[in-house]
Each structure stands twice: as structure tokens, then as C-alpha cells.
Structure 1
Amino acid sequence: MKNSILTLLALAAMVACNKKENTSTADSTADSTTMNAPADSPLTLNDSATVSGTNTGSTATALNDQDKKFADAAARGGMMEVMMGDLAAKTSTNASVKALGEMMSRDHGKANEELKKWASASGYTLPTSLNTEQQKKHDELKTKKGTEFDKMYTDLMVSDHKKDIADFKKEASDGSETSLKGFASKTLPTLEHHLMESEKAKAEVK
């Protein structure tokens, strides 16, 4: 009888131990499941890593050939207008031509700065010097004096601004980069005013 009681107690102890071990194993399994939850589950450990790695790619603006061609031409043209405008303001003895030169230097200087800001924000490198043809025109203008200077300068301003207006209109309609198209549209009225004033000055010096 005594042996039977001892046997029953031993069995009861074994059952209790097995139940505790099973509970512990279940808890461990639950913890493991939580740690290894799918990445799309809410508030998993992997979420923070996913967020921190978002949008780390390059943000450089993509430009098409029209945009690049326009930006380069506008940069070089703007530099030439400033250089020739400064020359006219210093060299000419005609009040209208001097005033025209001052306006060209001032207005194109502002436009050049706007274009540089756009280029910096877009990651685009603008040319920093005139092309061969433009440099030749500038050098030739420097050799002129008096009426010859006034005639050559006003002729250049009329022809250059007609071309500029056509180029800026093309960019405003056909360009792909929004900010550059906006720059072209915004600058057009100034260029049209320059053409009008250039034609007035040209008529005066003939």
C-alpha cells in the first residue's frame, strides 16, 4: 500500500514537470515568431530599417537634348550680352547706345544669376566662356570707335535678340524640365523689350 502511494506521487510530479516544460516551450516559440514576423507586419523590427533606407538615390534632374542645348546657349548668350553691354556703356559717346548697353548688362546679369541658381539646383554644369564665334564678335567690337562702334553694337543687339527670342520661345514650348521652361517664359518679355530698344537705337545711329 505504501509502495502504491509513493508510485502515485512520483507520477503526479512527472506530469507537473512535463506541463511546465510544455508551457515554457510554447512561450519561447511565440517570442521567436514575433521576432521573425514578416516585413509587412505592422511595427516589426525590420520596419525601421526599411524606412531609413528610403529615397537614398540620386535626385539630379534629367534633362533632354533641347534643355541642354538651350541652357548652354542661354548661358553663353547672357555672358556675351553683359560683356558687350559693359563695353557699350564705357565706349560709346551716344546717350541712347550707352543706355542700351547699361540695360543689357544689368538685365542679362540678373538672368545669368537665375540660370546659375537653376543649374546648381539641377546638378547641371553650364559653360563658363563664349564660343569661338561670340568671342570673335566681341574682339572685333572692341576695335571699333565712334559711329562705327554704335552701328556694329546695335546691329548685333538686334540680330542676337531676334535669335534669343526664338530660342526662348522654343524652350518654353518644347522643353521638358519645368523650372527651365519657367525661366524661358519669364525672361521672354525682357528680351522682347530689349529688341524694341535695340531697334530704336539702331535707327538713331544710322
Structure 2
Amino acid sequence: MKKVFLAATLVAALMVQACNSGQSTDGTTDSTSMDSTEMSSTSDMATDTSGQNPASSDPKAFMEQAAIGGMMEVEAGKIAQTQASSQRVKDFAALMVKDHSAANKELMGIASKKSVTVPASLPANEQQHLDAMKKMSGAEFDKHYMGMMVQDHDKTVSLFQAGSKNSDADVSAFATKTLPIIEGHAKMAMEIQGTLK
């Protein structure tokens, strides 16, 4: 499915999707394999064959990437509000649900205005990751979720920086307006991650 997205420049980067489930066969989290999966998917999905991010030139590519990433942030945030043990992590998750829901709603309005159909559900690998997260709890969940948030927001900042240069005025304005919010999320995620043991 990734190849289809890549071919159609549906680079599911952004606020974006985290990784495969990261679960080993014994049910424990394997952060090493998850990190390498994320790194390879970032490079695969963030650029086209010319080395350029299609989100900077293709309005549809940006909207599709942003929609998938936004959905992932909202759904992961909902899980974190119940599975996390740290109140700071839960509060961050609530902010993710609030801010990304608002951005998603605005993005849907732009897509509708331009007759662009964006994905209404997550790709299979992102859904599998969410399903695996539902089986985690406590400190294990907190570390996993905040690590995911740091990586996702790094990708999302890059996506929205590219989107701010998009040739479509509405897409560019949306990305430019939303970018500082995402940069704030990225900073908060790094700060919270640094407090987890």
C-alpha cells in the first residue's frame, strides 16, 4: 500500500504516521526495529524521485499527507488519554486531539472546496500501530507515545514547511498558519520526552 501512496505521492509523512506496530513476537515493544522502520519510511515518503517534497508543489499531495498525519495524531492522542500514566502525557495527548481535530476540520474544508478527496481512514500500517498501542500502558506507553510524538512532529514540521511554499494559495495559507502550532507541539514533545525515565 505504501508503494501505491508513493506512486501517487501520497506520502503519509506528517503529523504523521509513526511506524509499524513495533511489537516483537513475544508482545513486547521493540523500539529498535520501530526506529529503523520510521527512518526508512520517512525518507521513502518525504520525497519523490527528484529528491523534492511533493507537498511543496502538489496541493493534493500535501492535503493527503496532512489528512493522514492529522488523523493519526488524533487517534493516538485518544489512546494516550486512557493508556498513559503521566498526567503531563495525558494533557499533551488532549492538546493533540484538540489542535489536530481543528486543523483536520479546516483541511477538510479546503479539500472539499477544491474537490480533492482525502483519505477518510488510516492506512493499514498506521492502524496496526494504534492497535498495538492499545495493548501498552503505564511508563512503557508514555515512553513509546512521546517518542512517536517527537518523530511524528519532526516529519510534520517538514511537511508543513513544504506546504507553506505550495503553489496553491489556500494550501500555502493553511500550512503557514498551522506551522507554528506544530512547531510548538514538537518543542513540547521533546521537553516531555526528556522528563520520562
Structure-2-length-normalised TM-score: 0.69
Q: Residue by residue, what CA displacement relative to the aligned partner does 1:71-120 show, whole Å, maximum 9, x if unpaired?
A: 11100100010001111112212111000100000000000000011111
Amino acid at match of 1:182: A
RMSD: 1.6
Equivalent residue for 1:104, pick from 82, 87, 96: 96
Structure-1-length-normalised TM-score: 0.66
Q: Secondary structure at the match of 2:58?
A: helix
For residue 88 of structure 1, what is the aligned residue in structure 2? 80
Report if the CA contact (8 A) 2:153-2:182 is conserved: yes
Amino acid at match of 1:164: T
Distance (whole Å) between structure 2 residues aligned to residue 180 and residue 119 of structure 1: 9
Report if the CA contact (8 A) 2:84-2:141 is conserved: yes
Question: Are residue 192 (structure 1) and residue 183 (structure 2) matched?
Answer: yes
Distance (whole Å) between structure 2 residues aligned to residue 64 and residue 105 of structure 1: 26
Distance (whole Å) between structure 2 residues aligned to residue 67 and residue 133 of structure 1: 24
Q: Which has the higher contact order (CA 8 A, sep 6+)?
A: 2
The structure-2 alpha-carbon separation of the partners of 1:202 and 1:181, relative to structure 1 and needing over 3 Å to count, comes to same
Equivalent residue for 2:170, pick from 162, 179, 194: 179
Q: % of aligned pairs identical? A: 36
Equivalent residue for 2:193, pick from 172, 178, 202: 202
For residue 78 of structure 1, what is the aligned residue in structure 2? 70
Distance (whole Å) between structure 1 residues aligned to residue 65 and residue 56 of structure 2: 14
Distance (whole Å) between structure 1 residues aligned to residue 71 and residue 174 of structure 2: 16
Distance (whole Å) between structure 2 residues aligned to residue 118 and residue 107 of structure 1: 17
Larger radius of gyration: 1
1:66 positional shift? 2.2
Could you list the runs of 5+ residues in structure 2 that have no partner in the other structure? Answer: 1-54
For residue 167 of structure 1, what is the aligned residue in structure 2? 159
Q: How many residues align?
A: 143
